[in-house]
Amino acid sequence: LIGAAAILPWGVAFSWSHIGRFLTEDIIPYPIRAGGDNMMAALGDWVSMLMVDQIWPGTIATVQLTMIALVATGFLTMAFFPLISPLLLGRAARTGGHVFLVVVRSTPEYILAFVLLNLWGPSMLPAIVALSLHNAAIIGHLIGRFTETLQLRLDAVRGVNRYFYEVVPRIYRPMLALLFYRWEIIMRETAILGILGIATLGFYVDSAFADLRFDRALFLILITAMLNICVDAISRTIRNRLRLQTTLEER
């Protein structure tokens, strides 16, 4: 911490007047700054314009991408956790599985999405693949480690039957708990991926900053935060209703 503070560029010019202007003028909605007799009507038109042109389409794209990535994460998790499970693979195969999951979960989803975006062009597909791979590797690693605590009968079936009839029923509830726990995180990452040109809420936030419309950017950020809070509340409700626990303990 001391070393990090020591190498900070303390010589960079720092203007309190710019910060004061940002907090007292730039982030205030333009109709309020402009004032006038029709300020409230102009403010209503301003909010309506943002809702129709940016917030509504951005929210739809964000939710759509989030839900597709969430479902894809669930399917990929079911394929990833056997890679490190001692109940399903031998030591040599698990070593390769560990390396694969470490690489995938350690690669930032933003970088992965950027690479795929350059390969496949601008669409939701790069973001879906990047988010699904990254989050599935994280959950798959946790579930794979959880299977190390499972005790099967000595005469338990092997091969594919062991996967479907012995292991999956035991890990399905913990997997769902972790998946719903990551839901809000996937939503937040989806919004941020808008800076890469994907038309989520983050795309409109980035465009507002590029145009120096800080009032619009702040309003869009608040909408994004509210959306994340709603998703987190829904996730908690579902986990409580289904009595899902994010702590991986054998029952």
**Domain ranges within the chain, ordered by starting residue:** 63-241
Task: Name the DSSP class of 107.
Answer: S
The half-sphere exposure of 107 on its side-chain side, counting CA atoms within 13 A, is 20
Per-residue pLDDT tens, the chain, 251 aa: give them. Answer: 777 767 767 666 667 787 888 888 888 888 888 877 788 899 999 999 999 999 999 999 999 999 999 999 999 999 999 999 998 888 999 999 999 999 999 999 999 999 999 999 888 999 999 999 999 999 999 999 999 888 888 878 888 998 999 999 999 999 999 999 999 999 999 998 988 888 899 999 999 999 989 999 999 999 999 999 999 999 999 999 988 876 665 54
Q: Under CATH, domain 63-241 is a member of which superfamily?
A: MetI-like (1.10.3720.10)
Nearest Cα residue to 60 out of 200, 227, 245, 251: 200
Indicate the burial class of 210 (C-beta count within 10 angstroms; 0-12, 13-18, 19 or more).
exposed
Nearest Cα residue to 127 out of 36, 172, 190, 54: 190
Query: Coil, strand or helix: which one is 183?
Result: helix
Q: How many CB atoms neighbour CB 163 within 10 A? A: 17
Quickly tell me which residue has 């989803």 as its tokens.
Answer: 109
